[in-house]
């Protein structure tokens, strides 16, 4: 029987990493809006919407890293980064650095 998770681990990982990167960029923008509005008043709707969005994006980022960890446990992709199908990880050094520091070790 074909193990599709192992066969398509490169594509799955690429999708996860792209989502994490997108969420991290959106979180930075949301934090900027939140801090700009905090200077004026923390009672504004815009401030609290940015705060809620930032919190949601943080949860999505953590979920993405946990998915990377689960995929790594299933397919051991982190030991195969020298393969051509994993070349895309060089485009996302911050995501990979954070994964190695906090999630790969099981912290």
Residue extents of the structural domains in the chain: 4-103
The pLDDT assigned to 48 comes to 85
Secondary structure (H, E, C), 29-88: HHHHHHHHHHHHCCCCHHHHHHHHHHHHHHHHHHHHHHHHHHHHHHHCHHHHCCCHHHHH
Please list the rounded mean pLDDT of every run of 10 residues in the chain (107 residues): 90 97 95 80 79 95 96 93 93 94 70
What does the pLDDT read at residue 78?
92
User: What's the token pair of residue 6?
Assistant: 């192992």
Residue 102: DSSP 8-state: I
Please give the model's pTM, rounded to 2 decimal places: 0.87
């Amino acid at each position: 029987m074909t193990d599709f998770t192992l066969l398509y681990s490169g594509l799955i990982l690429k999708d996860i990493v792209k989502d994490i990167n997108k969420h991290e960029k959106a979180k930075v923008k949301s934090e900027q809006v939140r801090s700009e509005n905090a200077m004026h008043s923390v009672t504004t709707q815009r401030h609290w919407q940015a705060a809620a969005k930032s919190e949601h994006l943080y949860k999505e980022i953590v979920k993405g890293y946990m998915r990377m960890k689960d995929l790594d446990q299933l397919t051991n992709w982190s030991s195969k980064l020298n393969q051509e199908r994993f070349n895309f990880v060089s485009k996302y050094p911050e995501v990979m650095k954070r994964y190695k520091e906090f999630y790969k070790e099981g912290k």
